[in-house]
Homo-oligomer: A and B are copies of this chain.
Amino acid sequence: MVWLGEAASIPRLLAKAVYGLPELHREELRGAKLIAVPGCMATAAIISLAPIVKASLIDTDRIVVDAKISSSGAGAHAPRLDLHPFRTYVIRPYEVVHHRHTAEIEQELGLLINRRVRVAFTPHAVDLVRGILTTSHTWLVKDVSEPDIWRVYRSMYGNEPFIRLVKDRAGFQRYPDVKYVIGSNLVDIGFEIDNRLGRLVILSAIDNLMKGASGQAVQAMNVALGFEETTALNQVPLYPV
């Protein structure tokens, strides 16, 4: 299945491009001349699923990624359907089974285990300007406890400057929520084990204009050019907004 027809037309460039996700491709990015910046929803899904896939904890043939995305993802030349009266007060599913970000997610997760991974991806437009939340419903293939999952994330992302693990039993922020990352380059990741069904739910929130677009591009450029990776990316989230 061809996902991005236009890109396939310049295979010579494609072969040289590095996928601009520093958390997974930091070494290849150093000195890179051509960087392919990941899609916004792909970023949230890949970063939050990578440690779990790599640790072989879940059934990689049935990963459901249910995404919720804001209006700025459509860009400044959006169609009439994105005029304010039509784009407000929506929970609008679109490209329900063949969104092109699916290809990136399957490619990147598959590379981690050298095996095909199948992702059932469905996006929904919601009435916000910024922010993406991905809810990944996965099925465990091993008995795991909460501390096990924590360890998997910490061992892979313990030193990452932009990743936060979010999980609490009380208070305002018990799981990732776009409200807590707006304006920042952060990726908030959380999870919950559903012992009854053997399900592992993985949640991830980003600001699609930062970690989902230009913020991530700057981060990748910083790595490519040998700058401090967090240069120009230390904005704290604006809260409440």
Residues on A facing B (Cβ under 8 Å)? 1, 62, 64, 66, 68, 71-72, 74, 76-78, 80-94, 96-98, 118, 120, 122, 124, 126-131, 133, 135, 137, 139, 172, 174-179, 182-183, 190, 192-194, 196-197, 199, 201, 203, 205, 238, 240-241
Once the chains bind, are B127 and A128 in contact (CB under 8 Å)? yes
- 4 additional contacts, CB 8 Å, given A64-B137, A96-B194? A81-B172, A89-B178, A93-B133, A97-B199
A120 with B199, Cβ < 8 A, contacts A126-B91, A126-B126, A183-B238 known: yes
Once the chains bind, are B86 and A83 in contact (CB under 8 Å)? no
Cβ–Cβ < 8 Å partners of A172 in chain B: 81, 86
Docked Cα-Cα span, A84 to B201, in Å, equals 27
A62 with B139, Cβ < 8 A, contacts A120-B199, A179-B89 known: yes
Q: How far is the CB of A193 from chain B (nearest CB, A)?
A: 7
Once the chains bind, are B129 and A240 in contact (CB under 8 Å)? yes
Cβ–Cβ < 8 Å partners of A87 in chain B: 83-84
CB-based nearest B residue for A196: B1
Q: How far is the CB of A104 from chain B (nearest CB, A)?
A: 15
29 residue pairs from A and B, CB less than 8 Å apart: A1-B196, A62-B62, A62-B139, A66-B66, A68-B126, A71-B83, A72-B240, A74-B85, A81-B172, A82-B83, A84-B87, A89-B178, A89-B240, A89-B241, A90-B177, A90-B179, A91-B128, A91-B133, A91-B178, A91-B205, A93-B175, A96-B194, A97-B196, A97-B197, A98-B196, A120-B197, A122-B135, A129-B240, A129-B241
